[in-house]
Chains A and B, each alone.
Chain A
Amino acid sequence: MAAVAMEVDDAPPLERKEARYTRKDEDFERRVQRYKGQQYSHLYYCRLHKLRGALSSLVQSGFPGVPVCPILGLEDGKRCVVIGTIYKQMKLKPSILDEYAKERSKLPLATASNFMHPDDYLVLEDESGRVKLVGSVVVPSNYVTGIVIAACGAAGKDGDFFVQEIIEPGLPPQPPLPSITEDKYVAFISGLRIGSDHCDPLQLQLLVDHLTGHLGDEQEQMLSAQVIRLIVAGNSLDMQYNLLAGQAISAKDQARLTEPVKELDLVLTQIAAAMPVDIMPGANDPANFTLPQQSLHKCLFPGASAYCTFLPATNPHRFELDGIEFLGTSGQNVDDLDKYSEAKDVLELMERTLRWRHIAPTAPDTLGCYPYTDKDPFVLDRCPHVYFCGNQRSCMSRLLTVEGKSVRAISIPRFCDSGTAVLVNLRTLDYHLLTLSTSALLDA
């Protein structure tokens, strides 16, 4: 068959819009860190030190004249402010020691989804000591271990600190929102889970075709041309880790193990050939376990890594597009918060992390984290304009306006379950969904 290259298009292809991209992952990359056997006290110290600075100024303005005391220097009945890290004593929190206890407790060892209990209480700890926080203001279900707060109140005779008010660090300073004249969209997807049984390859192919400009008529392709970047927020792979049993892997198993990666590479090649794409590792991806997860290695993607538009990113991922700051994770931080505290929805948890100025406060207590000695990379210095979180059950988004700062918080749904991607408009910080469906095929 003669292959004839025909240029019968009525119009030349549309030009995809572009935006200035700056990657800001330096804090999350672990380049020069060397593990020398250190423990986590340095991390907590750095966190306390940094957030204490923010809290001090708030305390001075909010409670003028009230002294800030170290915990060991508390005097009975004297009104003062203490600043420290919260530790939440939880009855149901799984402890590794329980597994080795001679007497198994009545409580089952099975993992529950939420470990809250009415008997949980909060303890505030600073460099000198700890003190239990009591008072009606203190609602333990709203707090988790690892956050730094200031508590104003007085020490009681029994050694507890009766809290009148809790002060959180609040949202960090936010750079001004630049004005953008034309509509440009950033697309977010997460939870592709290529390789799992219930991942629909046709659905993913529809997404790729839509984003790369194959699908649809000219109007639809104009929409695709406005999408300037795709962010894949974790859990792109569902590899069969049970094959890695420690024995030699047979050739057949090897093929089964690597097939999802090749499939993902093919998908990413198609996307990278058309637009810039960032891929973040997730909880189930072949990356390290502790946060911050390092970027997926480019040897996994021989096809896609040839493109300059392909960017493996860390988790959490921070970047700037045309002056708009984005920050987000693949969902591990929020999922962990969900286990140890209570909130209306995912967005409220995300809002709390912004108020606490810390993306993952439960690290390293219940969330794996690298023992940094010189910094805590999860402390927020600047408030992002768009704050996203991947691998959630459904897509929700709110424009949080707090203290004059506005943040578009988005939870990105799992694509394998929902077939939905989220697009954020850079001009308005508005969002809309992109749903792809092949369910009609299953109907009669």
Chain B
Amino acid sequence: MADSSSEAGIIEQLRALVSDLSLMVSYKWLSRKFFISSNVAKRLLYKFVEKYGDGLEVLYSVSGWTQSQPRSYSVKVVKLSQLEGAKALLAEGSSVHIYSIQASVPRDPALVWSPDNVQAEEFFNQPLDAVNCLRDNRFSGVSCSLVKRDHKGTVSSSAPASEKASLPQGLPPKPALMKNETSIAAKASNGETSNPSGSSKQANSTRGDKGNVSAGTVKQENGEGRRDANKRKEGSATAQGSSIANLWGRPSNNSKASPPKNGSPQKQLPGNADACINALEEHENGGSSDDDISNFRRLRRGGQKRRVVLDDEVSEHKEEEAASEEKEEEEEEEVISLISPEKKIEETKHEDKASNSNSRSGDDKRMDPKKKRKVLRTRIDERGREVTEVVWDTEEPESSKIEEIEKVKAPNKTAAPPPPPPASKHPASKASTSKASTKPSSKPGKKAACGPQQGSITSFFKKK
């Protein structure tokens, strides 16, 4: 029979291993090495010892119920000389089998354990998506249908190459999302088929698990999305023109796209995970209005598109009353408010733009050489303060909120709608001032009430 001949083959190989290499071979080591079940390995060892056992020391495992109270099941590893004694202590029906064979038995139990451990560690250290005999316990005598392994939930430092290939760049978000899901499902089914003890019930529940996992992460994403709005923008900027699909698709993609930002792989993942999270969340939020998606897409696709938007801002701004600098400062936000009808997104966009422009000012400068330049301009505003601003060098003397440096030189004079005085240089307050500046009508009243104070500090508190 094929089995007995392969058994004989194994026995021969075993002989070589034990005698020539002086290895310590336990039944478990044998089973994992030659891909046979543990019970078969034990039988093989027994045959081996019968044939070639001379000169070898054998360790036996004796197990059975003890005769003493409290009732206890004892498993012992003993040498041949102790075998009978150990069996005598146990009740009827004790089981004996060979634990291991070796040239000489070491005194230290850890040395008996160590070859098995080395082998187990080899299996353990394989990449997380590899299913091996350690991970699915396939050679044991007892199988458990409850066991399901989902390596996707774990943090893996090396993303498999196949995942990257499956998601082409530049796809619009919705089809990319669906593709993502199908690739996950495909991987789930791959994982299942390779598991020999899989059953249909297992397959269904694995998919259920995936669904749960993704639902769970989506919920988490919603919560985190708001707070990480900034990170999202940063992620998009440094993706350098790659589409939302990549933000979602694979963390490793993002890691490749943004090498300067991220150091080790471990660090990459949280940031990119956030980007993915935010991309997903954004998608969900923006799903209600196509305008938003198109806006996000436009704003996402690097500086080029953004320039287009700003051009629109400029042209639209001309149509509005352009009297105050306050209007000019809030220009960007107002324009965004025109583009995106939903106010909530508008406000987050304020913050995004505010903090992003802070971080990306350098990039922007590089990216749009022809349309706009940023120059430092010093002027006196209505309240008599000298304001140094970084402005876009265009026809419109718009001012961005970036790096406004104020020097309060003269006390506040007029009650005219003053610009929101960002007395502190914190981006947070800039964000809040930008929010406040969207309501210019309310401002004059408040400012008038403030009166001839040193406007900076109190207005800082007010803006909060």
Q: Which of B6, B120, B197 contacts A270 (CB 8 A)?
A: B120
Smallest CB-CB separation from A206: which chain B residue?
Answer: B75
Nearest CB on A from B62, distance (A): 9
Total interface residues on B, using CB and 8 Å? Answer: 70
Q: Among A212, A216, A302, point to the contact of B95 (Cβ < 8 A).
A: A216
**Inside 8 A of B153's CB, which chain A residues have their CB?**
305-306
Q: Within 8 Å of chain A (Cβ to Cβ): is B113?
A: yes
Contact: B141 with A14, CB < 8 Å?
yes
Question: Closest CB-CB distance, A40 to chain B, in whole Å?
Answer: 31
The distance in angstroms between the C-alpha atoms of A397 and B75, with both chains bound, is 21
Task: Tell which of B30-38, B240-248, B408-416 binds the partner.
Answer: B30-38
Partner among A219, A223, A273 whose Cβ is within 8 Å of the Cβ of B135 = A273
State the Cβ distance, A224 to closest chain B Cβ, in Å.
5
The 8 Å CB contact of A273, one of B59, B86, B134, is: B134
User: A206 contacts B77, CB within 8 Å?
Assistant: yes
Q: In the complex, how many angstroms separate the beta carbon of B8 from the nearest chain A beta carbon?
A: 12
Q: List, in ascending order, chain B residues with CB within 8 A of A269's CB.
A: 124, 134-135
The CA-CA distance from A219 to B82 in the complex, in Å, is: 22
Min C-beta distance of B188 to chain A, whole Å: 13
Chain B neighbourhood of A15, CB < 8 A: 142-145
Task: For A274, give the chain B residue with the smallest CB separation.
Answer: B137
Contacts A5-B35, A217-B95, A306-B149 given; indicate if A201 touches B110 (C-beta within 8 A). yes
Contact present for B77 and A213 (CB under 8 Å):
no
Q: List the one stretch of B65-73, B165-173, B176-184, B448-456 in contact with chain A.
A: B65-73
A191 CA to B132 CA, complexed, in Å: 29
Which residues does chain A contribute within 8 Å of B70, judged by CB atoms? Answer: 395, 397, 431-433
B-contact 0/1 string along A426-444, CB 8 Å cutoff:
0000011111111011110
A285 at the interface (CB under 8 A from B): no
Contact flag A201-B117 (CB < 8 Å), given A214-B38, A434-B72: yes
Is A51 part of the binding interface, using a Cβ–Cβ cutoff of 8 Å? Answer: no
Q: Which residues from chain B contact A302 at a C-beta distance below 8 Å? A: 128, 154-155
The distance in angstroms between the C-alpha atoms of A432 and B117, with both chains bound, is: 29
Is A13 among interface residues, defined by CB-CB distance under 8 A? yes
Whether A202 and B143, one on each chain, are in contact in the complex, defined by CB atoms closer than 8 angstroms, is no
- Minimum Cβ distance to chain B for residue A211 (Å): 9
A227 to chain B, nearest CB (A): 9
Q: Is the C-beta of A251 less than 8 angstroms from some C-beta in chain B?
A: no
Judge whether B49 is part of the interface by a CB distance below 8 angstroms: no
Contact A4 B40 (CB under 8 A): no
Nearest B residue to A308 via CB reads B148
B residues near A202, Cβ cutoff 8 Å = 77, 109-110, 112-113
Are B73 and A434 in contact (CB-based, < 8 A)?
yes
Contact A441-B79, Cβ < 8 Å, known A273-B137, A274-B142: yes
A203 at the interface (CB under 8 A from B): yes
| B interface, over-half SS | mixed
Say yes or no: A213 contacts B142, CB within 8 Å: yes
Q: Tell yes or no: B105 within 8 A of A by CB.
A: yes
For the complex, give the distance between the alpha carbons of A276 and B145 in Å.
Answer: 11
Known A-B contacts A201-B110, A205-B116, A273-B149; the reply to A8 vs B105 at CB < 8 A is no
Q: Is the CB of B72 within 8 A of A205?
A: no
**Residue contact B95 to A219, C-beta cutoff 8 Å:** yes
Interface majority SS (helix, strand, loop, mixed), chain A: mixed
Q: Report if B217 contacts A (CB, 8 A).
A: no
With A14-B141, A305-B154 in contact, is A220–B110 under 8 Å at CB?
no
Query: CB < 8 Å: which of B77, B120, B142, B155 contacts A221?
Result: B142
Set of chain A residues within 8 Å of B35, measured between Cβ atoms: 3-6
In the assembled complex, the Cα of A212 lies from the Cα of B142 at a distance in Å of 7
Chain A residue at smallest Cβ distance from B3? A8
Flag if A216 contacts B63 (CB, 8 Å).
Answer: yes
Q: Is B22 an interface residue (CB 8 A)?
A: no
- Whether A412 is near chain B, meaning CB under 8 Å from some CB there, is no
Supposing A5-B35, A202-B113, A307-B149 touch, asked if A436 and B75 sit within 8 A by C-beta, the answer is yes
Residue A86, interface by CB 8 Å: no
> B43's closest neighbor in chain A, by CB?
A8
Tell me if B48 counts as interface (CB < 8 A to partner A): no
Neighbouring B residues of A437 by C-beta, 8 Å: 74-77
**Inter-chain contact B146/A276, CB cutoff 8 Å:** yes
A383 interface residue per 8 A CB criterion: no
Is A215 interfacial (CB-CB < 8 Å)?
yes
Query: Given the complex of chains A and B, what is the CA–CA distance between A309 and B146 in angstroms?
Result: 7
* Residue contacts A-B, CB under 8 angstroms, 23 given: A5-B35, A8-B3, A9-B39, A13-B143, A16-B143, A16-B144, A16-B145, A200-B109, A203-B109, A206-B77, A213-B137, A213-B140, A214-B141, A215-B38, A273-B134, A275-B147, A308-B148, A308-B209, A309-B146, A423-B73, A435-B66, A438-B109, A438-B112
8 residue pairs, one from A and one from B, having the closest CB atoms:
A213-B142, A433-B72, A202-B109, A221-B141, A213-B140, A217-B95, A273-B137, A16-B144
- Contacts A6-B7, A217-B95, A435-B72 supplied; 10 other A-B pairs, CB < 8 Å: A3-B34, A9-B39, A9-B40, A15-B145, A219-B93, A273-B149, A431-B70, A432-B71, A437-B76, A440-B79
